[in-house]
Amino acid sequence: MRILCLLLAIGFPVVLAAQPGRPLLGASDDRRAAKLWDEAIAHYSLGELAEAEAACSAAIERDASFFDAWMVRAQVREDGGRWAEACADVKAACAARPELVDARLLALLVRLAYRSGEYTEALQVLERLATWRPVTAEEQEAWNLLVASVQFAEEAVREPVPTEAVQLPGDVNTAMPEYYPALTLDGNRMLFTREIRTERRVQEDFFWAECLEGTWTVTGPVVGVNTSGNEGAPALRGDGRVLVFTACEEIGGGYGPREGMGSCDIFETRWVEEAGRFGPATHVGQPNSKAWESQPSLSSDGKTLLYVRSARDAEGRRWQDIFVADRESSGRWGPGRPLTGPINTSGKEENPVLHPDGKSLYFASDGHPGMGGMDLFVSRMQPDGRWGDPVNLGYPINTAADENSLLVAPDGRLAMFASDRGTPGNLDLWTFELPEAVAATPQRPLTGRVVDASSRQPLAAEVVLLYSDGGTHARVASDRADGSFTLPLPEVGSLQFVVDLPGYAFFSQTVADTTFRETSVEIALQRWKVGATLTLRDVRFDTNSATLQATHQSELDQLVELLAPGNERIRITGHTDATGSSATNLELSERRAGAVKDYLVARGIDASRLVATGRGSAEPVASNDTEEGRALNRRTEITVIE
C-alpha cells in the first residue's frame, strides 16, 4: 500500500501498479467487495472511468473501511479534475485505516486540498510535514512548487485584489462557446473565436465585434479566413490589417485549403483593402515545426511573434513553453527560440499576450506558485532584454480552477478572459479591471499616412517610435497601398517619432501624450535632392550653450545615416528664438551649427561636404510670444546645396 500512496502523491495513475486479485495492505476481508475492487482496476486499465468509479462505490458500500477502494476512487475522481471529491475520498481512507497514514499520504492530502481550493486545510496538513523530503530530484522540484503554491494561495485568499469580473456587455456571448479575443489598438474592434454547430460537426470560426459606448456588437464572420475546418487563437496587429492564427491538421490529413508541417501550425493573412477582406492565409514558415505550435500573440507593430510550442522529449515526457520569433527585413519570420528569463518552467506555459506597451507579457502557467491549475501571470521586459520574474495576478482573478485566454486592452487596465463560471460547460467572454500593480502602461494609437510631398502619392516608409536612449518602442512600415500606419503611443511621457525612406529627407519630431491626439497625422516626405530642407528640432544642447548633450542624439544619428551613402553637400543653419540680444543669438546659432558639423565629421562624414552657418533669431517660423512658438524657432536646418 505504501507503493500506492507514493504513486498517488506524485500524481501518476496508481491503479496501473495494481493487478486484479492481488491484495494490497488496505484490502477488504469482504470477498464481494474485493471482487468489485478487482473489477474497478480492470475498468480503469481500459480507461472506463465511470465503470471503475461505480465498482469502487459499490465496494465501499459493502465495506466502508476498504482503504484500497477509497484510494482508487480518489484516483478516478482526480483524473476527472474532481479535486474536492478526490480529497474527501482520501480523508475517508485515512479515517478508515489510520494505521496506514504516512508522510506520503499526507503529502497527497496537501496536493488534493490545494487543488480543491481548501488552502487553509492544505497549509495545516503541510505543517505536519515540515521535516519530510521527497526521494528523487524530480519529486523534490514538484514538492517545492506545491509548498510555495499553498503558502501563496492561502495568503492570496486572505488578501484578495480589488476587482470583480462581469460578462462582456453586448451580444458576443451566446449558447455556444466564445473565447480567445483579439483587439485592435484603438480598443474598439475585436476578433474572437466561436464554436459553430453544423449538421455534421462542431467547428471553430472567427467573428468581428465592435464597441460603442461600452457595449459590444457582433458585426459578422471574418470573411476570407473562416473555412469548414477549425480556426482558433487569433492575434491582430494594432491596425487590424495583419492576422495570425492557429489551424490544426484535420482527420485524414491536411489543413483544409492550407498546407502545414505537422499537428497544429500558425498561419498569417493580410487585409486586402480593395476587397474589404483578408486574403488567403499562408504558413508563417520557420517558427513552425513538426511539433505543436499554437496560441500566437502579435506585437502591435507586427514585428514580434510569440507562440506556444509543445513536444515530447527523448524520455517521452511532454513539455510546453513559450517561444518568440522576429520578423526579418525580408518580411519573413525568423526562427523561433524559447523566451529568455524565468517564464518557462518544467510545467506548462500557455496563451502569451504581449501588450501594446511592448514591456508587459501576460501568460498562463502551472509551473509557478499559484492558486491551482493554470494561473495568469505578468512579466515585465527588463533593460537587458530579458523577461523579469512572473507576478501572479492574484485572487480572485486566479482561482483553484484553470484560468486562461486573457487579453489586456490598450488602456492597460481592462482585461477580458474566457470562463464558464456563468454557464458551466459554455465558455463566455468576461471582463474585469486589472489592479494597478499588474496593469500595463496605457497606450493609444498614433495613426497617419506617409506621402510624397510633391506627388502626394502614398509611400511605404519606416515609421518608428524611439525612447530617449535610442531604444525602440515600436516600428512599422506604412502601407504601400495607401501610406497608412498605426503605432502604439504611451498615454504619458514622450518619444521620438521618426519617418524614414531611402531617397527622402527623414521626418523627426518629439511626440507626447498631447501630440496628434485629435486627428490622424499626414507626413509628407521630400525627395533628398538639391534645394531640399530638413528641419531638426530635437538636437539636444545644454541650456544656452553650443555643447551637445551626452545623451542619445536620435536626429543627428539619423542624419549620419542619410548622408553616409551619398556625396551631396549640405548647409547646416542654426536658428534661435528671440530671447536675449540679437548678437548673442547669432553667435550661439553659429556655434551650434558648428557643433553639429563636428558631430557629423566625427562619425565619418567628409568635412568638405559640410557648411555651417547661423542666423540667430532673424528667421522665425512662429511667434516668439509663446513657449510653443519659441520652441519651433529653436531649430537646425539642413539644406542640400549641391
| Beta strand extents in 79-177 (DSSP E only) | 166-167
Q: How much is the pLDDT for 256?
A: 66
Average pLDDT over residues 435-459: 94
Which three cell numbers, joined as nine digits, stand for 575? 536658428
For the cut 80, the answer to whether the pLDDT of residue 219 exceeds it is yes
Give the residue among 617, 603, 504, 591 at the shortest CA–CA distance from 553. Answer: 603
Torsion of CA 27, 29, 33, 36, to 10 degrees: 50
Determine the Cα–Cα distance for residues 490 and 469; give it in Å rounded to an integer. 16
Q: 475522481: which residue's cell?
A: 77
Q: 451566446: which residue's cell?
A: 174
Cis peptide before 396 (omega within 30 of 0): yes
Residue 123: count other Cβ atoms within 10 Å of its Cβ.
18
- Domain boundary (385, 406, 438) is at 438
* Residues constituting the chain: 642
Same domain? 406 vs 544 = no
Same domain? 222 vs 124 = no
| Widest distance between CA atoms in the chain | 112
Who contacts 33 (Cβ-Cβ below 8 Å, separation ≥6)? 59, 60, 62, 63, 66, 69
Average pLDDT over residues 176-194: 94
Domain count, the chain: 4
Which DSSP letter does residue 115 get? H
Q: How much is the pLDDT for 471?
A: 87
* CATH code, domain carrying 40: 1.25.40.10
Look at 262 and 95; give whichever has higher pLDDT. Answer: 95
Which three cell numbers, joined as nine digits, stand for 614? 547661423
For the cut 90, the answer to whether the pLDDT of residue 227 exceeds it is no
Q: How much is the pLDDT for 519?
A: 61
Look at 585 and 516; give whichever has higher pLDDT. Answer: 585
| Beta strand extents in 513-581 (DSSP E only) | 521-525, 533-536, 570-575
264-295 tens-digit pLDDT: 899 999 999 888 899 999 999 999 998 999 99
Residue 215 pairs with which residues in a beta bridge?
Answer: 212
497-551 tens-digit pLDDT: 999 999 999 999 888 766 666 568 999 999 999 999 999 988 999 988 999 998 8
* In contact, 21 and 68? CB cutoff 8 Å: no
Q: Cα Rg for the chain, rounded, in angstroms? A: 32
Residue 163: count other Cβ atoms within 10 Å of its Cβ.
17
* In contact, 379 and 391? CB cutoff 8 Å: yes
Phi, psi angles (nearest 5°) of residue 522:
-110, 125
The pTM is what?
Answer: 0.87
Q: How much is the pLDDT for 313?
A: 85
CB environment 4-31: b (16+ within 10 A), e (fewer): bbbbbbbeeebbeebeeeeebebbbeee
Average pLDDT over residues 1-18: 37
- Summary mean pLDDT of the chain: 90
Same domain? 43 vs 179 = no
- Containing structural domain, residue 459: 442-527
For the cut 80, the answer to whether the pLDDT of residue 144 exceeds it is yes
Determine the Cα–Cα distance for residues 312 and 350; give it in Å rounded to an integer. 16
Same domain? 523 vs 539 = no
Q: How much is the pLDDT for 584?
A: 95
Question: To the nearest 5 percent, what fractions of the chain are helix, strand and coil?
Answer: 25, 30, 45
* 69 three-state secondary structure: helix
- Domain boundary (133, 158, 183) is at 158
Determine the Cα–Cα distance for residues 617 and 24; give it in Å rounded to an integer. 98
Beta 610-614 vs 570-575: how paired, if at all? Answer: parallel
Q: H/E element holding 466?
A: strand 462-466
* CATH code, domain carrying 498: 2.60.40.1120
Q: How much is the pLDDT for 502?
A: 93
The amino acid occupying position 40 is A
First-to-last CA distance in the chain?
93
Same domain? 523 vs 425 = no
Give the residue among 527, 506, 507, 521 at the shortest CA–CA distance from 452. Answer: 527
* 394 three-state secondary structure: coil
Look at 614 and 232; give whichever has higher pLDDT. Answer: 614
Same domain? 554 vs 408 = no
Same domain? 538 vs 477 = no
Q: Beginning with the edge strand found earlier in the chain, give each strand of the sheet holding 304-312 in spatial order.
A: 292-298, 304-312, 318-326, 337-338
Determine the Cα–Cα distance for residues 454 and 286; give it in Å rounded to an integer. 41
Q: How much is the pLDDT for 317?
A: 84
Which three cell numbers, joined as nine digits, stand for 547? 555643447
For the cut 90, the answer to whether the pLDDT of residue 316 exceeds it is no
Determine the Cα–Cα distance for residues 209 and 190; give it in Å rounded to an integer. 5
* 572 three-state secondary structure: strand
Give 38's Cβ-side CA count (13 Å radius).
Answer: 11
Same domain? 246 vs 315 = yes
27-50 tens-digit pLDDT: 899 999 999 999 999 999 999 999
Who contacts 400 (Cβ-Cβ below 8 Å, separation ≥6)? 83, 114, 115, 116, 117, 153, 371, 372, 373
Determine the Cα–Cα distance for residues 631 and 555; give it in Å rounded to an integer. 16
Q: How much is the pLDDT for 469?
A: 83
Give the residue among 255, 235, 237, 258 at the shortest CA–CA distance from 245. Answer: 235
- Domain boundary (412, 438, 464) is at 438
Q: 526579418: which residue's cell?
A: 328
Grade residue 322 by pLDDT with cuts at 50, 70 and 90.
Answer: very high
Same domain? 55 vs 107 = yes
* CATH code, domain carrying 310: 2.120.10.30
Same domain? 221 vs 338 = yes
Give the residue among 541, 536, 534, 633 at the shortest CA–CA distance from 595. Answer: 541
Same domain? 424 vs 495 = no
* CATH code, domain carrying 571: 3.30.1330.60
* In contact, 177 and 427? CB cutoff 8 Å: yes
For the cut 80, the answer to whether the pLDDT of residue 10 exceeds it is no
Q: In angstroms, what CA-CA distances link 148 with 154, 367, 368, 398, 616?
A: 10, 11, 9, 16, 67
For the cut 60, the answer to whether the pLDDT of residue 20 exceeds it is no
Same domain? 465 vs 523 = yes
Look at 639 and 14; give whichever has higher pLDDT. Answer: 639
